[in-house]
Chain A
Amino acid sequence: MKTLAYYTRIYFLIVSQYLKARMQYKADFWISSIGMVLQCLMGYFTLWILFHSIPALAGWRYEELVFLYAFSLLAISPASIVFDNVWSLRFHIQSGAFIRYYFKPLNMMFYYMSEMINIKALTQLAFALVILATSSISLGVRWDLPTVLALLGLLVSASLIMVGLLVLSSSAAFWIVNSYSLLNFFVRMRDYARYPMTVFTGFFRIVFTFVIPIGFVAFFPSQAILRPAEAGWEVWLTPLFGAGLFALSYLVWDRGTKAWSGTGS
């Protein structure tokens, strides 16, 4: 069993090589960062347009939804920064290039994910922090120690859910090769994670809480921070879903690497 310190050292070695290579393309970094900020602004702009016509959405005000949006962006950040290589998995599988990850004395998922770090997603993180700060100021959120700890714990859990969903859906490539539609599905679902789950009723409320658990990505955690009196038992499930989904995604990935038969070349 290799130690955590060993893996940390290896991670920084691999990532620094990747960053050196990327530094060749400075213009790419700036153009991509602008694209990322524009993408974040688009979500903001959509909310702004909507609230031109309505005073509240399912009883939630504009500033509260900005907070939800910020939380959802923060929750997706670790997945987009550290696990961005999920998007290339299907190409590696299709071409057979994935075979090389079998030959290293390292954990395969670790090695595969460490080969890419998405630095442009840091701008998404920065954007999210800014609108989280501005919205919580206008909402008068009191950041005492328990609230900060709750925010951090819930963010880690929500991030694990997003990472789990992305790894899980990209791993489908081991069996069906083209996992794009599945991966894209969960990434687009994230766009709906920023709305109050109370808009859903009956059967679909259950679906988006337990089956496609986007409620835990932003709504239930934000509810616990902004409206603790209204928060129900769901918020306590957030860490459970985070740990559970991540573990499940790891298991499926592991199964996948064993089931994949290569391309024969």
Chain B
Amino acid sequence: MKRYLTVFRASMQINLAYRAHFLFLLLGNAVFIVVTWFLWKSIYAGREILNGMSFERTFTYLSLAMSVFVLLQTWVEWGMSQRIISGDIVIDLLRPLDYMGLMVSDILGFVAGNFLAIALPSFLIVVFAFGMPVPLGLNLPLCLVSLALSFIINFSIDFLVGNLGFYTESTWGISITKEVIVLSLSGALVPLQFYPEAIRRALEWLPFQAIYSAPINILTDGGMGIGAMLKTLGAQAAWAAVLVLAARAAFARASRAVTVNGG
């Protein structure tokens, strides 16, 4: 465990070394929140409710979804396939660490910095600067649990996709394809309530909605009882377990097929 903690600390330090980067990330996110406010104000055009969602709820949902997006955008599949293609993956495989564990600790260092610099300030901006009503209670700790599960689901999908680096050299192509699929099927850009009924039904059977909708709904949906929250967490946990196992199986299989230049 100590070895993984060292990796975590080092990655957090590397990430925090570039202060200006964080400043721009934070400012940028604040601008996106403002743009979202204007755009959706215009979409609502004075209507109280659209698809069962009030403007306040939609705006809060989208602003937080944007922060979760930045939080979870960790380029796992990008880094993995780059190292597979260059052959550097061999060094990682030789380390006395579990490869997935190594990646998780490395990425968590990155995510921890992003959480402090992006997610938390964005949440504060939405609640205090825009005065959005967010119920405070048991939903706060449960949202953090849900966010952790979102991280595991998102990480496992990235890790699963990163394995494709063993079979193809197309890092960018795979990465963007995955991003588009995750973003459009998870409701990160437009709340799922806006999707046509049939599409929404189908999406409920896929893991992507568990990444964005789950933690944000737990946080912002005041009408959600404790039972419903636990049910959401249960579904997330089930997806997380399935995807972690799938990612491990894929890696075990693919890394046996590793061919490295001159290796």
Report which A residues bind B (CB closer than 8 A): 25, 27-28, 30-36, 38-39, 41-42, 45-46, 49-50, 52-54, 57-58, 120, 172, 176-182, 184-185, 188-189, 192, 195-196, 198-201, 204, 208, 212
B129 adjacent to chain A (CB < 8 Å): no
Given contacts A52-B194, A178-B20, A181-B22, whether A31 and B41 have CB atoms under 8 Å apart is no
B145 adjacent to chain A (CB < 8 Å): no
Q: Are B190 and A49 in contact (CB under 8 A)?
A: yes
Complex Cα spacing A177 to B14, Å:
13
Complex Cα spacing A41 to B185, Å:
13
CB contact between B168 and one of A27, A185, A195 (< 8 Å): that residue: A27
B43 adjacent to chain A (CB < 8 Å): yes
A-B residue pair count with CB separations less than 8 angstroms = 109
Q: Are B18 and A32 in contact (CB under 8 A)?
A: no
Given contacts A49-B190, A49-B194, whether A185 and B24 have CB atoms under 8 Å apart is yes
Map CB proximity to A onto B165-181 as digits: 1 under 8 Å, 0 otherwise: 00011101111110011
CB contact between B174 and one of A31, A52, A201 (< 8 Å): that residue: A31
CB contact between B173 and one of A28, A176, A182 (< 8 Å): that residue: A28
Complex Cα spacing A57 to B181, Å:
26
Complex Cα spacing A39 to B180, Å:
6
Q: Are A28 and B169 in contact (CB under 8 A)?
A: yes
**Leading 9 A-B pairs by shortest Cβ distance:** A32-B173, A31-B173, A199-B42, A35-B176, A185-B28, A28-B170, A178-B18, A31-B170, A176-B20
CB A170 to nearest CB in B, in angstroms, measures: 12
Report which B residues bind A (CB closer than 8 A): 18, 20-22, 24-25, 27-28, 31-32, 34-35, 38-39, 41-43, 45, 50-51, 168-170, 172-177, 180-181, 183-184, 189-190, 194-196
Which residues on the A side are within 8 Å of B50 (C-beta)?
Answer: 53-54
Complex Cα spacing A49 to B168, Å:
33
Q: Are A32 and B172 in contact (CB under 8 A)?
A: yes
Complex Cα spacing A33 to B174, Å:
10
Q: Are B173 and A35 in contact (CB under 8 A)?
A: yes
Complex Cα spacing A32 to B177, Å:
8
Q: Are B24 and A192 in contact (CB under 8 A)?
A: no
Q: Are A25 and B170 in contact (CB under 8 A)?
A: yes
Q: Are B184 and A42 in contact (CB under 8 A)?
A: yes
CB B147 to nearest CB in A, in angstroms, measures: 21
Given contacts A28-B173, A31-B173, A32-B170, whether A181 and B194 have CB atoms under 8 Å apart is no
Which residues on the A side are within 8 Å of B194 (C-beta)?
Answer: 49-50, 52-53
CB contact between B43 and one of A54, A177, A192, A204 (< 8 Å): that residue: A54
